[in-house]
Amino acid sequence: MAQKVFGDAMALAELNALVHPAVARDFEAWMKVMEGMGSSVVFREAAILFESGSNKGCDRVWMVAAPIELRIRRVRARDGLSVEAIRERMSHQWPAEKVASMADAVLVNDEMAPLMPQLMTLLEEL
């Protein structure tokens, strides 16, 4: 399916129109369950949070940033995709700089800066 939709803008738009509302409904239901269990904080992960409008339901947005070549290497290791296929998928996402400019915080996940201290600082601010 990914091979079809990432090469066809209309098919991708149709798929997104089906998937994103369903994911939003499921997340809202899950969030209510978590609140009922006493959770005061929940997290939402999304590759296209702003593009899909999912950020509207978030009190804060934290972006996890990594250099593009490192991101490609990680996806190749995880999914076995070609560099070309990964770049095609990434081309449907906003540039990292644009997302970072809209996020409330940016965590650097570049295999050099320790990630956990950055995360703990943000969690303490909540």
Q: Which CATH superfamily is domain 2-125 in?
A: P-loop containing nucleotide triphosphate hydrolases (3.40.50.300)
**pLDDT tens profile 16-42:** 999 999 999 999 999 999 999 999 899
**pLDDT tens profile 78-125:** 999 999 999 999 999 999 999 999 999 999 999 999 999 999 999 999
Confidence of residue 1 (pLDDT cuts 50, 70, 90): confident
| CA quadruple 16, 76, 114, 68: dihedral sign | negative
Q: Where are the domains of the chain?
A: 2-125
- CA of 104: how far to CAs of 22, 72, 76, 83, 108, in Å? 26, 25, 29, 30, 13
pLDDT at 91: 92
> In the predicted model, what is the mean pLDDT of the chain?
94
